[in-house]
Amino acid sequence: MKRKKKNNKKKIVIILIAVIVVFTGIFVAKSVLFKEKAAPAAKVVDKLDKYGYTLEDDATKYYKSLFNSLKKTLSKDSVDDEEYAKLVSQLFLADYFNLENKISKNDVGGVQYVYTPYQDSFMKKSMDEVYRYVESNIYGDRKQDLPVVASVEVDDIKTISHEYDGKTDENAYSVDLSISYEKEMGYQKNATLVLVHNKNKLEIVKMS
């Protein structure tokens, strides 16, 4: 009887080990396959070193055209400040509300145009609100229908005095804009942005 019990225990142990080995093998195999299928990360295809702006290869054709306009504007000996403000505003909204090319809810668009000290809080708020329901597309198999920005038009721009972060910019900009999408999905169509001067850059400190 003792031998039978010992043999039974050995059999159970062997079965458990076999099960663990099988499941481990399946897990490793899946990990390898998923790794192979993972969508490649976006690559930087252009950048403006003086300002720190970058353009990635997964940007829309419309966004790329705006970025090229910004590049031309900022390459001039005398930069048109108002035109600069308009383009930053358009680029920000064209990237922020274009969710179709975002990998996950953590991939918040337009952050490079936000006032630097506010970027972390801006990303957290965006992930809790606008980006909250964006499904992961790490493996390129997302079926979710997400908005694509078709155009962003500047409706009005004016110079204002704006207080922020214990400072005041007497030559800040308030820009009213309209957003159009390739497909109507109920996302924000109008926005007002406030931009302030931060060293050699114009950065967004407020959106409503």
154 lies in some domain: yes
Q: Is residue 179 classed as helix, strand or coil in its secondary structure? A: strand
pLDDT per residue rounded down to tens, the chain (208 residues): 545 555 556 666 566 665 565 555 554 444 444 444 555 678 999 999 999 999 999 999 999 999 999 999 999 999 999 999 999 999 999 999 999 999 999 999 999 999 999 999 999 999 999 999 999 999 999 999 999 999 999 999 999 999 999 999 999 999 999 999 999 999 999 999 999 999 999 999 999 9
8 lies in some domain: no
Q: Domain range for residue 67?
A: 50-207
163 lies in some domain: yes
Domains in the chain, number: 1
Task: Give the distance between the most distant pair of CA atoms in the chain.
Answer: 97
35 lies in some domain: no
16 lies in some domain: no
26 lies in some domain: no
Q: What is the CA radius of gyration of the chain?
A: 25
31 lies in some domain: no
21 lies in some domain: no
**141: Cβ contacts below 8 Å, ≥ 6 apart:** 37
